[in-house]
Structure 1
Amino acid sequence: MFVRSRMTRECYCVSPEDRLPAVYESMRAKGFEGLPVASEGKVVGVVTLWDVLNRLARTDNTEDYLRNTPVRDVMTDQPITIHEDEIIEEAALLMFNNDINILPVVNDEEQVVGILAQSDFLKIFVEVLGIRRKGTRITLRVEDRVGELARVTEIVKNQGVSIISAVTFESPGHHMDIVLRVATTEAKPVVDSLVANGLRVTHVSQVWA
């Protein structure tokens, strides 16, 4: 999964000389907490709603401030960007490690071609977990060792049930939690088979699209 397949392509950039009321309207219209600032197609900064509100709290004349302050006075310059051909995990790590809400996406010429926002990663989370598909959610706690996930999926396969999604999470004490979403609402035979094979099932629930 690459950045180019998940970014918002219809990215509206603002100019360093734009005034804040217009920028706020652009954020509201696009539903973003921030926007790239571009000059001649290249990213020179990022402006967020927080940038505007933070400066606004320190001024005595709100109306005058909004009307006369250009974006360049409040934007973060030299912003972090990511190339459109990078993997999506790299984008997530950049945003997490740097505590940023938006990430401008650029091409080989450093021109803005899109934007990634936190909401994009929520959509990915929903898709990866198969949340919109009906079935049963099964959580297991297993030892963190080679072959455990393969063993679990083999047991499910032998029951003739398809796996919608399978994700792992770190757990204390050299263990990991496996969260399966299987394509059946009658999952008792699957659960019984997992337990019969010595696996610890910690939670089962039906899920509905």
Structure 2
Amino acid sequence: MYVKDRMNRNVISVFPDASISLAFQLMKEQGYSHLPVVKNGKLVGMITENLLTEVSPSKATTLSMYELNYLLSKTKVADIMNEEVITVQPEMIIEEAATLLRDKMVDALPVIDEHSQLLGILTRTDIIDAFIKLMGINEPGTRIVLEVKDEAGALAEILGIIKSYGLSISHISSFNLNMDDENQEIIMRLNTLEVDDLLNTLQTKGYKILSVQKK
């Protein structure tokens, strides 16, 4: 799965010479915490809810409402935007983008081409949605978690057993909870609820069944 498969292509953006009052309004209306700043189709910066909060007068200000509105309308996005934006390209794999979001502690990644043209945006919510899709959480069937030896041929044997029952796997993943552990967990989702015979065979073969959830 790539960034282009999960990014939002309908991006709400602002121009550098837009007022921060307009940026405030757009964020409030759209429910966003960030807005790309674009000039001639190219990404030139990013404005966030935190940046807007930092430049907004505090509640203790002595300015009148008229003065506040005037100040916000005269301050431009270009005056406060972050010009050092962390970006990704559409062909980046989704795992790398997720790692970038975490490591850089940002909520969104603008997606650009080689000419800095804004193509879309990838948010933390998009990453979570991708994880849900990859794991098949909302799909009907049976979720089975096995503990198996982390050795060559183990997964092939499990797949062979499943195939012998005429069943198919819609989603599968594996991981080691402890990198020093010789065992790993295999998480599978089968597109059927009729798995009792399969489970008995897996247990007979020595596989430890950690969890079975039917939906």
Q: TM-score band (shorter)?
A: 0.7 to 0.9
Q: 2: distance between equivalents of 1:39 and 1:181?
A: 46
Aligned to 2:167, what secondary structure does the other structure show? coil
Contact 1:139–1:203 (8 Å) recurs in 2: yes
Q: 2: distance between equivalents of 1:45 and 1:146?
A: 49
Aligned twin of 1:43: 43
Query: Where is the strand percentage greater, Structure 1 or Structure 2?
Result: 1
Contact 2:27–2:35 (8 Å) recurs in 1: yes
Aligned twin of 1:198: 206
Contact 1:32–1:117 (8 Å) recurs in 2: no
Greater alpha carbon shift after TM alignment, 123-132 vs 59-68 = 59-68
Aligned twin of 2:131: 125
Aligned to 2:176, what secondary structure does the other structure show? strand
Residues 143, 32 of structure 1: alpha-carbon distance in 2 compared, 3 angstrom cutoff: farther
1:169 alignment partner, one of 175, 193, 200: 175
CA shift, 1:5, in A, is: 2.4
TM-score by length of 1: 0.88
Structure 2, unpaired ranges of 5+ = none
Q: 1: distance between equivalents of 2:95 and 2:191?
A: 27
Q: 1: distance between equivalents of 2:107 and 2:152?
A: 36
* Mapping of residues 75-90 of structure 1, within 5 Å: 75-90=81-96
Task: Specify the code of the residue in structure 1 equivalent to 2:75.
Answer: T
* Mapping of residues 6-25 of structure 1, within 5 Å: 6-25=6-25
Identity %: 31
Aligned to 2:138, what secondary structure does the other structure show? coil
What value does the CA root-mean-square deviation take over the aligned residues?
Answer: 2.1
Residues 147, 96 of structure 1: alpha-carbon distance in 2 compared, 3 angstrom cutoff: farther
Structure 1, unpaired ranges of 5+ = none
Deviation string for 1:15-47 (max 9, x for gaps)?
222222321332344443212112222212111
Q: 2: distance between equivalents of 1:27 and 1:150?
A: 50
Contact 2:13–2:36 (8 Å) recurs in 1: yes
CA shift, 1:160, in A, is: 1.6
Task: Specify the code of the residue in structure 2 equivalent to 1:98.
Answer: K
